[in-house]
């Protein structure tokens, strides 16, 4: 059988599996501009990095695609091998699932920059698209952030109208602390009722108020099993806002960080404010979440706790894959007969 080696972080990852296996999966929906997330006073302190903490079980949801971008739905366990740092890992889980309900954590940027160039209207259109494609059993929560605070404006609910009402109340203001807000979303996503979860981030990528640095955020998200789908809402017309009087300089927009967040968590990034394009992106996200495979293993507890990159080895007919890029923990259980290191090809 011919094999394609695919770098796990090279594309994205979606997920939908049987409830028993997806307790730790979460889809955080971060919408770049809603209200302001008002978490308690400790939100003023950036999340700390605990290098001694590692995951007890590593689950790797992935979505394999053919050359035309269509999901491949007939892979068997023998078709899938997982490698960590070039060595084949002994896995004890393989599942395939479709059409499972999902829990969506929606994070909306409610800062002043979202009032520019139709960004907030685009955020509302994206959320409406998410609600329009809901299925029985789906639930949703919504958080809004600005300045240095993050607030839960709608706890997990199956009431789509509650989300719509909260959207109508958003009044963009102030600076943006989306690094701080996003860092707290994986924990909040666990409050959803479904094992399949996602974080959806709607933001223009401008961060000018976080205590957490970009590098620290990326490090915090390295071990997260919840995919972050980043919707980068930037001025499609390319107009530059005025400077002075607290106005935001659009040149500060850093969409690269949205892409990196999506890649490291196995999500997907889309840029733009066109409602049609955003709806298509949301439909693709739903396809990722509801048609996925899952493999997993238990780390050995040997070696240092650190970030370890993963790779999938799949049949050659798999052109690309959406999947998380690695995990933070100890050494994996390596297949004894596979002493040689695997040569990895980065396929996009």
User: What does the domain layout of the chain look like in residue ranges?
Assistant: 3-40+52-329
Q: How far apart are the first and last CA of the chain?
A: 21
Alpha helices for 171-304 (secondary structure H): 178-183, 185-189, 214-221, 255-265, 275-290
Q: Check: pTM over 0.85? Answer yes or no.
A: no
CA distance 322 to 338: 25
pLDDT tens string 14-59: 333 343 443 343 444 444 433 333 334 344 454 443 333 456 889 8
Residue 243: alpha-carbon gap to chain centroid: 32
- pLDDT for res 18: 41
pLDDT tens string 140-168: 999 998 776 678 999 999 999 999 999 99
- pLDDT for res 24: 40
- pLDDT for res 78: 94
- pLDDT for res 148: 61
CA distance 225 to 323: 10
CA distance 223 to 327: 5
Query: Could you say which residues of the chain have pLDDT below 50?
Result: 1-5, 7-44, 46-53, 236-246, 248-252, 338-348
Residue listed under structure tokens 């600076």: 175
Residue 320: phi and psi, rounded to 5, are -155, 170
CA distance 261 to 13: 12
Kindly state the tokens that stand for 196: 């399949």
Tell which residue, 247, 238, 241, has the closest CA to residue 272.
238
- pLDDT for res 160: 96
- Which residues touch 218 (CB under 8 Å, ≥6 apart)? 260, 261, 264
Kindly state the tokens that stand for 189: 């996503």
- pLDDT for res 26: 40
The CATH number of domain 3-40+52-329 is 3.40.50.410: yes
Question: DSSP assignment of 150-193, as one string?
Answer: EEEEEEEES-HHHHHHHHHT----S---HHHHHHTHHHHHTTSS
H-run or E-run covering 124: helix 119-132
- pLDDT for res 283: 87
Tell which residue, 207, 217, 211, has the closest CA to residue 182.
217
- pLDDT for res 108: 93
- pLDDT for res 298: 95
Residue 177: C-alpha distances to residues 21, 117, 199, 243 (Å): 33, 20, 17, 20
Question: Quick check: 337 and 238 in contact, CB under 8 A?
Answer: no
């Amino acid at each position: 059988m011919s094999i394609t080696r695919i770098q796990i972080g090279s594309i994205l990852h979606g997920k939908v599996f049987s409830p028993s296996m997806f307790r730790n999966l979460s889809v955080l929906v971060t919408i770049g501009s809603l209200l302001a997330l008002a978490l308690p006073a400790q939100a003023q302190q950036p999340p700390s990095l605990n290098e001694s903490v590692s995951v007890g079980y590593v689950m790797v949801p992935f979505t394999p695609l053919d050359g035309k971008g269509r999901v491949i739905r007939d892979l068997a366990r023998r078709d899938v091998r997982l490698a960590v740092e070039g060595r084949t890992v002994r896995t004890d889980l393989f599942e395939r699932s479709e059409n499972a309900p999902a829990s969506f954590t929606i994070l909306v940027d409610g800062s002043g920059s979202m009032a520019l160039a139709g960004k907030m209207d685009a955020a509302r259109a994206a959320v409406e698209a998410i609600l329009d494609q809901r299925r029985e059993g789906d639930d949703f929560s919504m958080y809004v952030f600005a300045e240095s605070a993050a607030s839960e404006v709608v706890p997990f609910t199956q009431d789509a109208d509650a989300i719509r009402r909260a959207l109508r109340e958003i009044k963009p203001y102030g600076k943006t602390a989306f690094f701080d807000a996003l860092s707290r979303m994986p924990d909040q996503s666990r409050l959803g009722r479904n094992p399949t979860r996602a974080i959806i981030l709607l933001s223009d990528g401008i961060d000018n108020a976080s205590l957490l640095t970009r590098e620290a955020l990326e490090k915090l998200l390295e071990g997260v099993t919840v995919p972050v789908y980043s919707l980068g809402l930037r001025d499609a017309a390319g107009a530059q806002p005025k400077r002075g009087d607290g106005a935001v300089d659009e040149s500060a927009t850093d969409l690269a960080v949205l892409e990196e967040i999506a890649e490291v968590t196995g999500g997907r990034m889309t840029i733009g404010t066109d409602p049609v394009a955003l709806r298509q992106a949301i439909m693709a996200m739903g396809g990722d979440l509801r048609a996925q495979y899952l493999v997993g293993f238990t780390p050995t507890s040997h070696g240092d706790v650190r970030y370890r990159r993963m790779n999938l080895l799949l049949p050659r007919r798999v052109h690309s894959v959406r999947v998380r890029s690695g995990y933070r923990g100890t050494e994996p259980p390596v297949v004894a007969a596979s002493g040689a290191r695997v040569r990895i090809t980065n396929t996009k």
